[in-house]
C-alpha cells in the first residue's frame, strides 16, 4: 500500500477499496506482543486515513488467527510493563471501533484470550468451519478480564461466563449461534468470503457507513430512550448529506446512485 508505514509483525495491502491487514507472526501463532499491538494500531490508523478505504479485513498468517497475549513477554514483567501492555491493548481495541471503516475479522484456527477479544472487537467476523474461540486464562491463573469486555458485548452473558469460567473453546458454528460470528465457511474460503463482505460494504457511501458505525457503537450501550434521542439526531444530520439526497433521488428514479462520498 503506497505511503503506508513499514512493519515487522504485520502485512498491509490494498485490494481496491478494501485494506487487508495480516498478522504475520505464524511461528508465535500471532501472539499479541506489545510491538505487534502497536503496529496493528498504527496500521488501522494509517489505512483509515486513506480517502479511498471503505472497509478493512484483519487476518492472521499461519495456523492461528491469534493465540492472545505473548506470555513469554509477560512471564517476568514488572507492574509498569504490564500496565503499559494493557494500555496498548486497550488502545488497539478502541481504535478498531473508532475508525469509520467496518473491520472484518477473517478467522482461521484458534482465536484465544486476547485473540478472541480481537475478533469480538471487530465489527464482523467470518470464520472457518474449524475455527475455535476461547478465553482460557482461568486455566493458567490469569482470568481473561480484558477479553471479557469485548466478549460479553458480543455474546449472551451465560455463554460469556461459561467461556470465561471454564476456558473451554467453542466451535465456529456455536460462535455463530451465539452472535460472535457472522458467517462460517470452509477454511480455504475464509478470505474470499471476508473480501466479498467487505466489497459489498464498499458499494455504499463511505461517510454514511462511517456515521452508521459510529452511531451503532455509541447507542448500543445507552438506555432505549437515550438511544432513540441520539439516533434521531444522527438521522437528521445524515439526511442533510449530499449522498443521502442522491440515494433518495436514485431510489425514486429507479436508478443506481452515484456517490460523491460527501
Q: What is the pLDDT of residues 215-262, one digit of tens each?
A: 999 999 899 999 999 999 999 999 999 999 999 999 999 999 999 999
Instruction: Say if residue 149 is in the same domain as residue 171.
Output: yes
Instruction: Say if residue 241 is in the same domain as residue 184.
Output: no
β-pairing, 18-23 with 10-15?
Answer: antiparallel
Query: What gap in Å lies between CA 151 and CA 135, rounded to an integer?
Result: 9
Task: Supply the range of the domain harboring residue 235.
Answer: 206-252
Residue 257 included in any domain: no
**Residue that terminates a domain, selected from 181, 202, 223:** 202
pLDDT score, position 6: 82
Instruction: Say if residue 220 is in the same domain as residue 170.
Output: no
Grid coordinates belonging to 113: 484470550
Indicate whether 192 pLDDT > 90.
yes
**Residue that terminates a domain, selected from 202, 217, 232:** 202
Grid coordinates belonging to 39: 503496529
pLDDT score, position 4: 56
Residue 212 included in any domain: yes
Instruction: Say if residue 91 is in the same domain as residue 215.
Output: no
Instruction: Say if residue 21 is in the same domain as residue 110.
Output: yes
Q: Which of 158, 155, 120, 116 is nearest to 137 (CA)?
A: 116
Residue 259 included in any domain: no
Residue 258 included in any domain: no
Instruction: Say if residue 162 is in the same domain as residue 221.
Output: no
Residue 95 included in any domain: yes
Residue 55 included in any domain: yes
pLDDT score, position 40: 98
* Burial class of residue 78, CB neighbours in 10 A (0-12, 13-18, 19+): exposed
* Average pLDDT for 138-159: 97
* Average pLDDT for 100-128: 98
Instruction: Say if residue 70 is in the same domain as residue 197.
Output: yes
% of residues, the chain, pLDDT over 70: 98
**Residue that terminates a domain, selected from 161, 181, 202:** 202
Q: What is the dihedral of CA 80, 86, 91, 97, to 10 degrees?
A: -170
Grid coordinates belonging to 232: 434521531
Q: Which of 172, 165, 162 is nearest to 143 (CA)?
A: 165
3-state secondary structure of 62: coil
CATH of the domain at 138: 3.90.226.10
Number of domains in the chain: 2
Q: What is the pTM of this model?
A: 0.95
Instruction: Say if residue 71 is in the same domain as residue 183.
Output: yes
Residue 86 included in any domain: yes
* Average pLDDT for 16-29: 97
Instruction: Say if residue 140 is in the same domain as residue 175.
Output: yes
pLDDT score, position 3: 52
Compute the mean pLDDT over every residue in the chain, rounded to the nearest whole number: 96
Instruction: Say if residue 136 is in the same domain as residue 159.
Output: yes
| Number of other CB atoms surrounding residue 101 within 10 Å | 25
3-state secondary structure of 113: coil
Instruction: Say if residue 136 is in the same domain as residue 115.
Output: yes
Q: What is the DSSP-derived secondary structure letter of residue 32?
A: B
Termini Cα distance of the chain: 24
Query: What gap in Å lies between CA 63 and CA 55, rounded to an integer?
Result: 24
Instruction: Say if residue 197 is in the same domain as residue 218.
Output: no
Angle in degrees, CA 204, 210, 215, rounded to 5: 120
CATH of the domain at 226: 1.10.12
Residue 140 included in any domain: yes
Amino acid at each position: 500500500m503506497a505511503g503506508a508505514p513499514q512493519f515487522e509483525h504485520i502485512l498491509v495491502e490494498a485490494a481496491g477499496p478494501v485494506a487487508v491487514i495480516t498478522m504475520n507472526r505464524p511461528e508465535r501463532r500471532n501472539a499479541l506482543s506489545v510491538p505487534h499491538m502497536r503496529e496493528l494500531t498504527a496500521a488501522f490508523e494509517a489505512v483509515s486515513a486513506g480517502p479511498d478505504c471503505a472497509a478493512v479485513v484483519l487476518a492472521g498468517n499461519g495456523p492461528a488467527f491469534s493465540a492472545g497475549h505473548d506470555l513469554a513477554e509477560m512471564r517476568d514483567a514488572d507492574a509498569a510493563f504490564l500496565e503499559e501492555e494493557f494500555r496498548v491493548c486497550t488502545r488497539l481495541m478502541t481504535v478498531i471501533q473508532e475508525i469509520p471503516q467496518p473491520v472484518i475479522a477473517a478467522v482461521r484456527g484458534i482465536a484465544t484470550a486476547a485473540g478472541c477479544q480481537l475478533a469480538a472487537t471487530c465489527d464482523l467476523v467470518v470464520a472457518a468451519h474449524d475455527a475455535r474461540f476461547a478465553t482460557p486464562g482461568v486455566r493458567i491463573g490469569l482470568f481473561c478480564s480484558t477479553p471479557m469486555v469485548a466478549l460479553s458485548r458480543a455474546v449472551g452473558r451465560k455463554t460469556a461466563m461459561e467461556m470465561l469460567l471454564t476456558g473451554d473453546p467453542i466451535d465456529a458454528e456455536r460462535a455463530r449461534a451465539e452472535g460472535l460470528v457472522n458467517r462460517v465457511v470452509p477454511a480455504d474460503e475464509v478470505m474470499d468470503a471476508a473480501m466479498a463482505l467487505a466489497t459489498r460494504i464498499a458499494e455504499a457511501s463511505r461517510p454514511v457507513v462511517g456515521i452508521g458505525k459510529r452511531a451503532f457503537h455509541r447507542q448500543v450501550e445507552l438506555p432505549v430512550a437515550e438511544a432513540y434521542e441520539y439516533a434521531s439526531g444522527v438521522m437528521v444530520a445524515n439526511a442533510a448529506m449530499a449522498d443521502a439526497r442522491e440515494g433518495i433521488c436514485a431510489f425514486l428514479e429507479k436508478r443506481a446512485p452515484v456517490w460523491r462520498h460527501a
